[in-house]
Amino acid sequence: MKLAKIVLLILFFSVLLFDNAAFADRHMRCQGSLVSIGDTTAQVLDECGKPDKINQWKEYHNGSMVQIYDYKTERYIAPQEVQNPILMERWTYNLGATQFIRYLYFQDGELIKIKTGERGSD
């Protein structure tokens, strides 16, 4: 009985930790505001200011059917035929030595993913 309670407590705290990690990957706080998956580059620029670095590239699919991951719903959507290249961007925010670097990924101007990197620097 006592072991079952310990296991339940461990599971409960694991779920809490998992939920916080999921929140951190879907949102980023900057300058007192919150940016989220689905925001546009203009919204993020307005809320967070200019990033420290921007990488851009185009992904070509030559009209093929591709399955795209929808980060808002966290599911794959039905395959679509892609006619034009997809503009991809990775914005890097170095928030200083006391915080972690944040990488924001955009697909055709829409924020699709937020990743936490290594500790930043001044």
Q: Measured on CA atoms in the order 57, 72, 76, 14, is the torsion positive or negative?
A: positive
Q: Which domain holds residue 23?
A: 2-119
The confidence score (pLDDT) of residue 10 equals 54
Number of domains in the chain: 1
> What would the pLDDT profile of 17-74 be if each residue is shown by its tens digit?
444 444 447 889 988 889 999 999 999 999 999 999 999 999 887 766 666 777 777 7
Specify which of 1-10, 73-82, 97-106 reaches the highest per-range mean pLDDT: 97-106
| Euclidean distance between CA atoms 48 and 17, whole angstroms | 26
Q: What is the largest CA-CA distance in the chain?
A: 61
